[in-house]
Amino acid sequence: MTADFAPLFQNSHIATIAGNYWRRQIDEARFPARRVEYKVAPDVTVVAYEHQPENPFGQIVLLHGLEGSSDGGYIVSFTQAALQRGFGVHRLNMRSCGGTEHLSATMYHSGLTSDTLHVLRSIQGRNLGPIFLVGFSLGGNVTLKLAGELRRTDLLTAVCAVSTPIDLACAVRAIGQPKNVIYARRFLSRLKGRVRRKHPVQPHLYPIDGLDKIRSIWAFDDRYTAPLFGFGTAANYYATQSAARFLEYIEIPALVVTAQDDPLVPFEMYRGRKAFQTNPALTLVTPRHGGHLGFLSRTRPRFWLDELLSSWITGQLSRPLHLH
């Protein structure tokens, strides 16, 4: 369904860029951050920044996008909104992200759900109330894939995914288009930088010969990501790790939000997708404008997405739990 959203910018690229750089902050005097390390495996530790209000209604774990971190603007503003509504928030950095490269032998990939699952189970063991998972962009793919893998579960009450590339191959092809060169260069530069920083410690996993000749994310994934995680090729990596393959198996409420003009996530990957018609657990919201994570409203509240997600999650607290 479409949404009641009055965009500040109708140009998708301006919306995307403005959304990325718009100033946001967490009231840490009221909601101080606690750094928490989760040892996922002997050679893997991930870091989350946790904020707790008094007597929280539940817990929300947030997953960022490609080459992002727990300090992303969309993470920061939604954290503040959720805290004000009475939820504890865990801003999780994916493996090697947010200044944590020294804590893990390998980096993340678009379908890596094991780290998030470990964190969720750790939080569940603290009995802090119902748990929600919210993913943005690449983090949304991880979120929906994990929900589909879990199927029937008491671990998560509901999930949200925003601006999510549910078809990874389609998204990577879109990023490679000339109109998206500014994004492609940024992502690729950061990915190459990560390889260069990893190389001195693990040259066998992160060789740098020929790195400068890589000109696309597809080529990068074919050279590094796919072999590193046993997928073989980028094509096989995308085919097996895309959330689209898991949508039909999701059995907990899932809110999926994507703009029809998202330059990085072509709407074609959503249009006509059967699971959104046949799986009652899925709710798809598709505003005409918003770009990629750029849902800035010309009316109050400015951060329309934060209000939408926090209201929807609050509404899930009153739903009876049915594992069907």
- pLDDT for 113-129, tens place per residue? 999 999 999 999 999 99
Strand pairing report for 87-92 and 44-51: antiparallel
Q: Which two tokens stand for residue 303?
A: 């951060």
Q: How far apart are the first and last CA of the chain?
A: 24
Among 137, 169, 120, 193, which Cα is nearest to 269's? 169
Instruction: Look at residue 324 in the predicted model and tell me its pLDDT.
Output: 36
For the chain, give every domain's residue range: 12-167+244-316, 168-241
- pLDDT for 269-284, tens place per residue? 999 899 999 999 999 9
- Percentage above 90 pLDDT, the chain: 92
Q: What is the CATH number of domain 12-167+244-316?
A: 3.40.50.1820
What are the strands of the beta sheet with 58-63, ordered from one edge? Answer: 34-41, 44-51, 87-92, 58-63, 131-136, 158-162, 254-257, 282-285
Note whether 294 and 20 are within 8 A (CB).
Answer: yes
Answer whether residue 300 shows pLDDT above 90.
no
- pLDDT for 132-187, tens place per residue? 999 999 999 999 999 999 998 999 999 999 999 999 999 999 999 999 999 999 99
DSSP 217-239: HHHHIIIIIHHHTT--SHHHHHH
Among 104, 102, 99, 101, which Cα is nearest to 118's? 104
Answer whether residue 27 shows pLDDT above 70.
yes
- pLDDT for 53-87, tens place per residue? 999 999 999 999 999 999 999 999 999 999 999 99
